[in-house]
Structure 1
């Protein structure tokens, strides 16, 4: 369920960001750009925690 909600809200926020930025620079809103960002961002959001280590390393070098 958390993956579905992550995808949903990231998709909505990516389209909002695309709309606001395109309005600020005076360009036309492009649905394709928002969709690409809306699909790529949640994938990165889900991959990054999977490849990060669980906790601090056992060897601390001070």
Structure 2
């Protein structure tokens, strides 16, 4: 469920960002390219997030 939510929000936010940037630069918005970028970026974030977060608790030394 977490991956689906990340994919959904990543898709929306990346497409919105590409639309705004293409509008500001005077280019045409290409939905297919923006969608591919959003899926690749979201999967990269999910993979890096899984690799970077430890599952076991961290010992505290006081």
Fold equivalence (TM over 0.5): yes
Give TM-score scaled by structure 1 length.
0.76
Contact preservation (8 Å) 1:15, 1:34: yes
Q: How far apart in 2 are the matches of 1:16 and 1:39?
A: 13
Alignment of 1:2 onto 2:2: yes
SS of the residue 2:27 aligns to: coil
Q: Which runs of 4+ in 1 moved over 4 A?
A: none
Deviations 1:2-29 (A, max 9, x none): 1111000100111101100000000000
Larger deviation, residues 31-40 vs 16-25: 31-40
RMSD of the alignment, in Å?
1.6
Alignment of 1:37 onto 2:37: yes
Matches within 5 A, 1:11-50: 11-50=11-50
Which runs of no fewer than 5 residues in structure 1 stay unpaired?
A: 56-62
Q: Which fold has the larger relative contact order, with Cα–Cα distance below 8 Å and residues 6 or more apart in sequence? A: 2
Which runs of no fewer than 5 residues in structure 2 stay unpaired?
A: 57-62
